[in-house]
Amino acid sequence: FRSEFCIFRANLYIKANEYEECVSYLDKNESIIRDKESMLEDKLYCFKKLNKNDDAFKCIMELLKSYPENGDYFDALEEITPKENIVQELLKIKDQYKSHYAHVRALEIMDANDERFKGLLAEHLKPLMMKGAPATYMTIEEFSKEKLEIAIE
């Protein structure tokens, strides 16, 4: 019960826009909070509101350890990461956590002329084609026409 109460109280701090207090409260009570994901999500929200991107990044990485396919975490990552660094971060996550979401998202964002694009695309598509996965197209439907043409090659 104490664990749930701590998360509830943290949410009250958030609703009152008291983000520093929320983080401090969660840090102080971390040892009794069982729902670590909710705690990290609350801290992430607060860090984003406080523009503490380094701390937010650490929360995202912790969350991705448990849920490497959660699109919300990738949305948060894209919010706090400079555009010129996002592809590199996604590729690190792809390798570190074996995240298919990170792989596809990197392909979506990456320029088709990037030297890594064709290799990453082949790495993504070949296993799906060998399996005969009907959802293969779903993973590339957001690609630009230029990227789709490269996929057809």
SS3 105: helix
What is the distance between the alpha carbons of residues 43 and 48, in angstroms, rounded to a whole number? 9
The yes-or-no verdict on residue 3 having pLDDT over 90 is yes
pLDDT of residue 133: 63
What's the pTM? 0.85
Q: Tokens at residue 94, please?
A: 């792809």
- Provide the pLDDT confidence category of residue 120 given band limits of 50, 70 and 90: very high
pLDDT of residue 36: 96
Q: Average pLDDT in the 17-31 region?
A: 98
What is the distance between the alpha carbons of residues 1 and 34, in angstroms, rounded to a whole number? 10
Contact yes or no for 146/118 (Cβ under 8 A): no
DSSP secondary structure, 62-87, as one string: HHHHH-TT-HHHHHHHHHHS-HHHHH
Contact yes or no for 23/40 (Cβ under 8 A): no
> Could you report the per-residue pLDDT of 34-49, keeping only the tens digit for each?
999 999 999 999 999 9
Tell me which residue of 56, 21, 2, 31 sits closest to 11, measured CA to CA.
21
Cite the DSSP H helix spans in 16-70.
19-29, 36-49, 53-66
